[in-house]
Structure formats: structure tokens, C-alpha cells
Amino acid sequence: MILNATTTIRSGAYLSPMKPGCFERVCLEGFQAGLSWYTVLVKRPVFREVFADFVPEKLAAFTDDDVERLLHDKRIIRNNLKIRATVSNARLTLNLRERAAAGDESLAGFSPSERVMG
């Protein structure tokens, strides 16, 4: 079973909504490394266009040909490692969703505590 962005997954006793936009933000954070946020944000509409609106299911299907195409697209930040990391992160995101849906609680220790520290 593959979950979509509005599905809630159970991780231990903590329910975590997979909010729309979270995956996009992680990807844009990667592209921002070493650059100003302004550089990334002015290119955001084009990033959405060329990276399939940051839908992990679509992005995970990108091939080496897609990566090569993106490396020649002058409208985006053309860093081979950042582009490949974005595709890889989409695949890993789907893998984690599948593991959580199958009841894998090995990641439960990474859930925030219900208790407020302070």
C-alpha cells in the first residue's frame, strides 16, 4: 500500500500527518545549500514544473535520461548531486511510507515526545 500526502501514518504512539509541501521543502532545502534562499525561491515555479510538482510517486520514476535533461535546463540549479539526491529522496520517502504502512515501528523512536520539555 502506498500512502498519499494527506494520509496519516502510525509511528509508535505518535500520529504524524504527511503534510503537503513537506517533501518539496526538503528538496528545496537541498538545492539551497551553499546558495541564498532568494536564488531558490525565484526558481520555485520552474522547480515545481520540472520536478513533477514534487510528488514523490512521480519523481521516484525519474530515470537517468530525466536527470540528464534536468542538467541541461538553464532555468534551475544544475547540480548533478542535488538533482540525483532529489530523485533518491523521493524513492526513500516511498520506501519509508511503505514500511510504516506495513507496521514497521523501527522509526518510532524518532517521533516527537508527547511531553513538553522545559
pLDDT at 71 over 50: yes
pLDDT at 64 over 50: yes
What ranges in the chain are assigned the alpha helix state H? 22-32, 37-42, 44-50, 56-59, 64-71, 80-101
Q: Give the integer Cα–Cα distance in Å for 116 and 104.
A: 26
What average pLDDT is seen over the chain? 81
pLDDT per residue as tens digits for the range 15-25: 344 566 889 99
Q: Give the distance between the most distant pair of CA atoms in the chain.
A: 51
b/e burial code for range 41-53 (CB count within 10 A of at least 16 → b): eebeeebeebbbe
Query: Who's near 51: CB < 8 A, 6+ residues apart?
Result: 27, 59, 86
Residue range 36-40: mean pLDDT, rounded: 95
Phi, psi torsion values for 9, nearest 5 degrees: -110, 150
Q: For position 5, what pLDDT does the model report?
A: 39
Least confident of 7-11, 67-71, 100-104: 7-11
Q: Which has more confidence, 19 or 27? A: 27
